[in-house]
């Protein structure tokens, strides 16, 4: 039993008690997703999938506004394609779904067994650089055919051993942009432009503050020259890589043969980029904002902005309450927020008021509006904010008029709160001893509640990275684009000349 | 060489000369899609993919308006799941992608070979009844958990031997609705409701007239009690099955164990349905409307409604022409058509006027607007309709004011034209001799240009169906929902009592 001092929460355990389990329970209570019987593959349930639809719609618009179009490439990649880029194959061959047959026939015991072996095995795409590169090589002859600016919304498969809903699953949904350019400068510009799209999306839509930076050699995408990333802090102070944008140089264009006749008449290899975000964003959103009562959603991406809860226990007033709610719903739905219509619904289910209310708390809807016979008499609504827990009566007129501003206030509050949390859990560290202390749990029972983001000068060596990974399970999250230059002269670990000021953290 | 009498066309060969090749060339000229190096898998290029995006957006709204939500289920299906439903496994085991390993390692010659065999092979979903049924069985306990009304947008794989872009490919994109209900009547109602959604979509969005009907035993979905379908006629007079809605009875709920406690306290199996349409719709749209100059698109689904073509050969007038076009574009983009904004662009490329114009003809844009210095002086536009080929000057004011009506006129004209073509190529047939003559090519060089839809009474036997398939490559397309009762007493093939009046045709 809980100690009597403790406030009863809708989610058990709490974040403090057991963060990983809290995360699973938040997902379950909000009915977002669940594990499927297919190893490592999740089922995204309607409430979770509508988060993905909102992510897609908003991000897709940003891609189109920056000149990209969508297309679709094959699910399968011939093994020989994967082999074309040495680092790439190294990175993906270890965990991939291999298709070897094209038919099933009854075996000796009557059970189906694979038949008709393929001449060449195929893998289910873990990412599509090689198959898309092959197509670009066919499409590009002259500099006039460049740039190619294409994005794909698709499913991909990486045979991960340890999976967690949204954060790491064998199959996941994502978008992968693949572009080809005539010059290096243009490709670098594209890589940085898409990183900026990701930053804006994370901060303005997900209300999730991120650090933009460059990955180190050991952490970059297999085959990339440079990997840019956005890194966010979760409420267990671990880092989550939420999106990556890769400058691929000419590595993949050489592997795939993307050549063009330049304006000056010379055969050149194109410069390519790729960039991706995935359903992992949903995991990041959950872990950034949710609390011990369940999911908390930023209004920009919430499937519903407002849930109206009619108080129906007085049978004689039932019809008039429902009528009032319908007219309120109509009035609210006519408003717009952030350029789209306000999403509102009425929960007419025959459930106890508390059960109904808690259901929507756990689903993270930003605003709950209770309407009972007494409220109608006063033309007043009882409004509850999910982010602050504040509950108060508001006149209907004021509520409706102020709704878009209130939703933005909630959006801004979530961002400010997450940023404050991150900043309070970041430290500037100037010596190895402090660094090790920072990442060493003081309380063995709450190992997750220590550490955070450590900013420190280091020599950029793989030796330091290997040591920290081994000793502390800490990695360089990125060399920040702003503030990545060392503050001092020396690496705090080796005393060698400092090369970067990096962000170090434990991570997902 | 062409005969001098013949009009030069943008697509060669013409429909009359070689229909299947004409189809490939229309796709190529419009840059819609192409074959990939992965056997049977296509690449959907940006212009083709934006057709799919428009199909998705509009159809998805229709699904949501009828109470459905989207979700996402695993790409992989354990072989043992497929085996649960006898007819189902029969239908899909013959051609499927089988995943047998989860890793690649270098073999003796250094090439990668599959490693880490799976305990149980998985297939890439050819359709998702079995995996979704497994999940529904977990979610449903009581009648209160029903109905479940879920749709999934996804890719599926069927290892087809002969493939054709959009019409039949190993991997294709589709939507699959899967619903579960407490009563048979409700499930049948759902099946018919979604068929009606498909009919409305085909006719009102794609401008493609369809016959709604029931499949015969031999043609229905493996595992279904009944398969409803929409059937359209292409310009080679062959039928295209464009969408299917299956009443699955309790077959899959028994196979997957979807049981619930009914209101009266009895354990019952749920009644399920499934319904799907795919990228095949794009093939149907191409073959219904396009002509010997290339693609013709219905405005409701066209990626662009209007392309503005500035006449730029007079260098001194270039800036003023472009300025005029920009202001025209802005004015057009502010209009709405069918509840969405009018889609307009300017082609500023430095190309010869004819080349530029023909490019847009072949891409099927409904309206082309030429703007030159002389037009500007008169505030007049030179407007060309893709559907009729009509070209004439129109005052800017009139064009803009009338644009939504003109787009709808084009939409209606395409539908009327396609319906006329279908009706002119349909025949009521009352004896076997006429039936065989109808489907026997009179001219060996133009075998495709004969036949059409034959309506005839038959006894509903598989013997007749087998005979027609063997003798004429003709199948029963459906028993129409309207007019499916026999007109006479006897089967025109056997003299047995007539059971149905069916639509017979050759088909894709």
Q: Is the pLDDT of residue A489 over 80?
A: yes
Contact yes or no for B36 and A135 at CB 8 A: yes
Contact assignment for A124 to B122 by CB distance below 8 Å: no
Point out which residues pair with B240 in neighbouring strands: B232
- What's the confidence (pLDDT) of residue B443? 60
On chain A, the residues whose CB falls within 8 A of the CB of B71 are: 43-46, 48-49
Q: Which of A71, A79, A163, A166 to mutate to test the interface with B (most CBs of B within 10 A)?
A: A71
d(C-alpha B397, C-alpha A154), whole Å:
44
State whether A36 and B83 contact (CB < 8 Å). no
Q: Is the peptide bond before A13 cis (omega within 30 degrees of 0)?
A: yes
DSSP string covering B433-470: HHHHHHTS-SSTT-GGGS--EEEEEE---HHHHHHHHH
Name B272's bridge partners: B180
Mean pLDDT of A226-246: 97
Q: Which residues contact A434 (CB under 8 A, 6 or more apart)?
A: none
* B201, two tokens: 């979509």
| Alpha-carbon span B18 to A183, nearest angstrom | 44
Non-local CB neighbours of B29 within 8 Å, separated by 6+ positions: B10, B11, B294, B295, B362
- Are B46 and A69 a contacting pair at CB < 8 A? yes
Q: Which two tokens stand for residue A157?
A: 């498969």
Specify the range with the lowest mean pLDDT, choosing from A404-418, B7-21, B41-55.
B7-21
Residue-wise pLDDT tens digits, B64-123: 999 999 999 999 999 999 988 888 888 899 999 999 999 999 999 889 999 999 999 999
- pLDDT reading at B3 higher than 60: no
- Nearest by CB to B96, which of A53, A70, A102? A102
Q: Which residues of A touch B82 (CB under 8 A)?
A: 104, 112
Other Cβ atoms less than 10 A from the Cβ of A315: the count is: 7
Give residue-wise pLDDT tens across range A420-438: 999 999 999 999 999 999 9
Structure tokens given for A172: 């996941």
Q: Is the pLDDT of residue A3 over 50?
A: no
Q: What is the pLDDT of residues A17-72, one digit of tens each?
A: 999 999 999 999 999 999 999 989 999 999 999 999 999 999 999 999 999 999 99
Partner residues linked to A345 by β-bridges: A307
Rounded-to-integer distance, Cα B146 and Cα B261, Å: 11
The whole-angstrom distance between A406's CA and the closest CA on chain B is: 27
Q: Tell me the C-alpha distance between B84 and B79, whole Å.
A: 9
User: Which of A69, A83, A101 has the CB atom closest to B98's CB atom?
Assistant: A101
Instruction: Summarize the confidence of residues B459-479 as an average pLDDT.
Output: 97
pLDDT tens sequence across B164-173: 999 999 999 9
- B121-141 residues labelled b (16+ CB within 10 A) or e (exposed): bbbbbbbbbbbbbbbbbebbe
Contact B71 A45 (CB under 8 A): yes
Residues of A in contact with B155 (CB under 8 A): 75, 154-155
Inter-chain CB pairs, A–B, below 8 Å:
184
Which of A333, A332, A319 minimizes the C-alpha distance to A376? A319
* Contact at CB, B38 and A78, closer than 8 angstroms: yes
Under 8 Å between Cβ of A313 and A273: no
What number is the average pLDDT over the span B236-258?
A: 97
| Inter-chain residue contact B82 with A112, CB threshold 8 Å | yes
- Give residue-wise pLDDT tens across range B425-440: 999 999 999 999 999 8
Q: Among candidates B234, B258, B188, which has minimal Cα distance to B22?
A: B234
Q: What is the DSSP letter of A205?
A: I
Answer yes or no: is pLDDT of B52 > 80. Answer: yes
**How would residue B6 be classed by pLDDT, with cut points 50, 70 and 90?**
low
Q: Kindly tell me the sign of the dihedral angle through the C-alpha atoms of B168, B173, B174, B178.
A: positive
Query: Residues of B with CB below 8 A from A44's CB?
Result: 71-72
For residue B18, pLDDT beyond 70:
yes
| Per-residue model confidence as pLDDT tens digits over A164-211 | 999 999 999 999 999 999 999 999 999 999 999 999 999 999 999 999
pLDDT value at residue B314: 83
- Beta bridge partner(s), residue A319: none
Nearest CA in chain B to A97: B102
Grouping H, G, I as helix, E, B as strand and the rest as coil, residue A308 is strand
**ipTM exceeds 0.90, yes or no:** yes
Contact state of A99 with B150 under an 8 Å Cβ cutoff: no
Distances from the Cα of B204 to the Cα of B83, B196, B298, B338, angstroms: 40, 12, 9, 11
- Per-residue pLDDT averaged across A387-416, rounded? 97
Mutate to test the interface with B, among A63, A79, A96, A104 (most CBs of B within 10 A): A104
Which residues on B lie below 8 Å from A50 (Cβ)?
69-70
Beta strands in B125-166 (DSSP E): 148-157
CB-CB contact of B401 with B445 (8 Å): no
Contact criterion met (CB below 8 Å) for A298 and A206 = yes
- Rounded to a whole number, what is the distance in Å from the CA of B90 to chain A's nearest CA? 10
Tens-place pLDDT, residues A86-123: 888 888 999 999 999 999 999 998 899 999 999 999 99
Which of A74, A130, A174, A282 to mutate to test binding with chain B, by most B CBs within 10 Å of its CB? Answer: A74
Q: B387 vs chain A: nearest CA distance in angstroms?
A: 26
Please report which confidence band the pLDDT of residue B411 belongs to, taking 50, 70 and 90 as the band edges.
Answer: very high
Q: How far is B357 from chain A (nearest CA, A)?
A: 19
pLDDT tens column, B256-291: 999 999 999 999 999 999 999 999 999 999 999 999
CA A159, CA A153: separation in Å to the nearest integer? 20
Candidate from A95, A102, A113 with C-beta closest to B97: A102
Q: What is the pLDDT of residues B192-216, one digit of tens each?
A: 999 999 999 999 999 999 999 999 9
Kindly tell me if the per-residue pLDDT of A288 is higher than 60.
yes
The C-alpha atoms of residue B79 and residue B317 are separated, in whole angstroms, by: 68
Q: How many other C-beta atoms can be found within 10 angstroms of the C-beta atom of residue B382?
A: 17
Q: How far apart are CA B215 and CA B220, in angstroms?
A: 5
pLDDT band per the 50, 70, 90 thresholds, residue B4: very low
Rounded Cα–Cα distance for residues A52 and A57 (Å): 9
CB-CB under 8 Å, B155 with A154:
yes
Whether residues B38 and A72 touch (CB distance < 8 A) is answered with no
Strand, helix or coil for residue B239: strand
Kindly state the average pLDDT of the residues B135-146.
97
Q: In sequence order, which ranges of A439-502 are alpha helices (DSSP H)?
A: 462-472
Residue A30 is predicted with a pLDDT of 98
Residue of B41, B114, B171 with shortest CB distance to A121: B114
């Amino acid at each position: 039993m809980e100690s009597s001092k403790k406030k009863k929460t809708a989610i058990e355990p709490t974040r403090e008690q057991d963060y990983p389990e809290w995360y699973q329970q938040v997902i379950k209570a909000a009915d977002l997703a669940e594990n499927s019987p297919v190893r490592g593959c999740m089922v995204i349930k309607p409430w979770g999938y509508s988060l993905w639809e909102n992510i897609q719609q908003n991000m897709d618009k940003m891609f189109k506004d920056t000149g990209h179009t969508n297309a679709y490439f094959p699910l399968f990649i011939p093994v020989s394609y994967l082999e074309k880029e040495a680092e790439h194959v190294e990175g993906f061959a270890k965990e991939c779904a291999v298709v070897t047959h094209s038919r099933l026939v009854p075996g000796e015991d009557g059970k189906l067994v694979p038949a008709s072996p393929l001449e060449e095995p195929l893998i289910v795409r873990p990412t599509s650089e090689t198959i898309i590169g092959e197509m670009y090589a066919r499409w590009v002859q002259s500099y006039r055919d460049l740039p190619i600016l294409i994005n794909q919304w698709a499913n991909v498969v990486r045979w991960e051993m340890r999976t967690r809903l949204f954060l790491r699953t064998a199959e996941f949904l994502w978008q992968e942009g693949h572009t080809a350019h005539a010059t290096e400068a243009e490709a670098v510009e594209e890589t940085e432009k898409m990183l900026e799209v990701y930053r804006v999306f994370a901060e303005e839509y997900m209300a999730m503050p991120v650090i933009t930076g460059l990955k180190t050699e050991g952490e970059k995408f297999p085959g990339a020259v440079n990997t840019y990333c956005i890194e966010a802090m979760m409420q267990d102070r671990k880092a989550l890589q939420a999106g990556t944008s890769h400058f691929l140089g000419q590595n993949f264009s050489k592997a795939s043969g993307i050549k063009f006749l330049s304006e000056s008449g010379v055969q050149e290899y194109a410069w390519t980029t790729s960039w991706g975000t995935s359903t992992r964003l949903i995991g990041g959103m959950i872990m950034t904002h949710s609390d011990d009562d369940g999911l908390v959603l930023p209004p920009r991406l919430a499937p519903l902005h407002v849930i109206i809860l009619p108080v129906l226990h007085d049978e004689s007033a039932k019809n008039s309450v429902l009528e009032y709610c319908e007219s309120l719903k109509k009035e609210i739905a006519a408003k717009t927020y952030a350029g789209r219509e306000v999403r509102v619904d009425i929960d007419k289910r025959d459930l106890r008021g508390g059960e109904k209310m808690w259901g929507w708390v756990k689903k993270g809807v930003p605003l709950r509006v209770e309407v009972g016979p007494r409220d109608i008499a006063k033309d007043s609504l009882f409004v509850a904010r999910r982010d602050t827990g504040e509950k108060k009566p508001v006149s209907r007129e004021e509520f409706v008029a102020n709704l878009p501003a209130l939703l933005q206030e909630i959006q801004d509050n979530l961002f400010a709160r997450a940023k404050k949390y991150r900043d309070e859990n970041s430290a500037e560290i100037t010596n190895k001893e402090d660094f090790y202390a920072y990442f060493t749990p003081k309380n063995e029972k709450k190992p997750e509640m220590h550490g955070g983001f450590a900013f420190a000068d280091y020599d950029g060596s793989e030796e330091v990275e290997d040591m920290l990974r081994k000793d502390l399970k800490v990695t360089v999250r990125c060399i920040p684009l702003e503030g990545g230059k060392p503050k001092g002269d020396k690496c705090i670990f080796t005393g060698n000349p400092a090369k970067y000021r990096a962000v170090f953290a434990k991570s997902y």
